[in-house]
Structure 1
Amino acid sequence: MSQYQQLLLIINPALRHSPAINRAAALAKASGATLHIVALIKPVETLLLLEKNIQEKVRDSYFKDHSEWLKDEAARMRVRGINVMTEVTWADDTEYEILQHVTKMQPDLLIKDVQHEPAIKRAFITPMDWHLIRECPVPVYLVGASGHTLPHKIVAAVDPSRPELQESGLNDRIIQEANSLALQCDAELHLLHAYDVSSVYLGDAGGGGLALTNLTKELRNVLEKSFLTLADHYGVPPDRRHFILGQPVSVLAEFASQHQVDVIVMGRIHRHGLEKLIGSTTEHILYQTSCSILAV
Structure 2
Amino acid sequence: MSIYSRILVVADINNDEQPALARAMKLASKSVSQSRVTFFLSIYDFSYDMTSMLSIDERDAMRRGVIHQREQWMRKIAAPYLLDGIDFDVKVVWHKRPYEAIIAEIFANGHELLVKATRKHDVLESVIFTPTDWHLLRKCPTPVLLIKQQEWPEETNILASVHVGSENPIHLELNNIMVEDALSIAERLGGTPYLVNAYPATPTNITIELPEFDPNTYTDAMRGYHLTAMKALRQKHGIPEEQTLVEQGLPEDVIPDAADKLSASMVILGTTGRTGLSAVFIGNTAEHVIDKINCDVLALKPAGYVSPLDPNLAS
TM-score by length of 2: 0.81
Residues 13-38 of structure 1: CA deviation (Å, up to 9, x unaligned): 33321321111111112225211111
Offset at residue 173 of structure 1 (A): 1.0
Change (3 A) 1:118 1:55: farther
Counterpart contact for 2:137–2:273, Cα < 8 Å:
no
Q: Specify which of 253, 257, 267 is matched with residue 254 of structure 1.
A: 257
Residues 170-207 of structure 1: CA deviation (Å, up to 9, x unaligned): 111111122222222222111111222335xx755753
Give 2:86's aligned residue: 82
Change (3 A) 1:59 1:135: closer
**What secondary structure does 2:286 align onto?**
helix
- RMSD after superposition: 3.1
Offset at residue 109 of structure 1 (A): 0.9
Residues 238-284 of structure 1: CA deviation (Å, up to 9, x unaligned): 22111112211111112222322111101112436764222111012
Counterpart contact for 1:37–1:87, Cα < 8 Å:
yes
Residues 51-74 of structure 1: CA deviation (Å, up to 9, x unaligned): 759988976664333211222345
Change (3 A) 1:22 1:229: same
Q: For residue 223 of structure 1, what is the amino acid of its counterpart?
A: H
Offset at residue 228 of structure 1 (A): 1.3
Question: After alignment, is 225-234 or 283-292 more displaced?
Answer: 283-292
Offset at residue 107 of structure 1 (A): 2.0
Instruction: State how far apart, in whole Å, the 2-side matches of 1:71 and 1:272 are.
Output: 35
**What secondary structure does 1:123 align onto?**
helix
Alignment of 1:256-275 (within 5 A): 256-271=259-274, 275=278
Q: Structure 2: 5+ residue runs without aligned partners? A: 301-315
Give 2:126's aligned residue: 122
**What secondary structure does 1:85 align onto?**
strand
Alignment of 1:16-55 (within 5 A): 16-31=16-31, 32-43=34-45
Q: Specify which of 158, 161, 168 is matched with residue 164 of structure 1.
A: 168
Counterpart contact for 1:28–1:35, Cα < 8 Å:
yes
* Greater than 4 Å deviation, 4+ residue runs: 44-62, 73-79, 165-168, 202-206
Instruction: State how far apart, in whole Å, the 1-side matches of 2:146 and 2:64 are.
Output: 30
Aligned: 1:140 with 2:144:
yes
Offset at residue 168 of structure 1 (A): 5.0
Give 2:111's aligned residue: 107
Instruction: State how far apart, in whole Å, the 1-side matches of 2:236 and 2:276 are.
Output: 35
Counterpart contact for 1:195–1:245, Cα < 8 Å:
yes
What is the number of equivalent residue pairs in this alignment?
Answer: 294
**What secondary structure does 1:197 align onto?**
coil
Instruction: State how far apart, in whole Å, the 1-side matches of 2:152 and 2:70 are.
Output: 27
TM-score by length of 1: 0.86
Offset at residue 156 of structure 1 (A): 0.7
Counterpart contact for 2:231–2:241, Cα < 8 Å:
no
Q: For residue 269 of structure 1, what is the amino acid of its counterpart?
A: T
Give 2:11's aligned residue: 11
Q: For residue 183 of structure 1, what is the amino acid of its counterpart?
A: E
**What secondary structure does 1:83 align onto?**
strand
Q: For residue 140 of structure 1, what is the amino acid of its counterpart?
A: V
Counterpart contact for 1:160–1:171, Cα < 8 Å:
yes
Give 2:194's aligned residue: 190
Counterpart contact for 2:143–2:299, Cα < 8 Å:
yes
Instruction: State how far apart, in whole Å, the 1-side matches of 2:145 and 2:152 are.
Output: 15
Q: Structure 1: 5+ residue runs without aligned partners? A: none
Aligned: 1:235 with 2:238:
yes
Q: For residue 30 of structure 2, what is the amino acid of its counterpart?
A: A
Q: For residue 207 of structure 1, what is the amino acid of its counterpart?
A: L
Instruction: State how far apart, in whole Å, the 1-side matches of 2:52 and 2:120 are.
Output: 31
**What secondary structure does 2:13 align onto?**
coil
Give 1:218's aligned residue: 221
**What secondary structure does 1:9 align onto?**
strand
Question: After alignment, is 204-213 or 105-114 more displaced?
Answer: 204-213
Q: For residue 34 of structure 1, what is the amino acid of its counterpart?
A: R
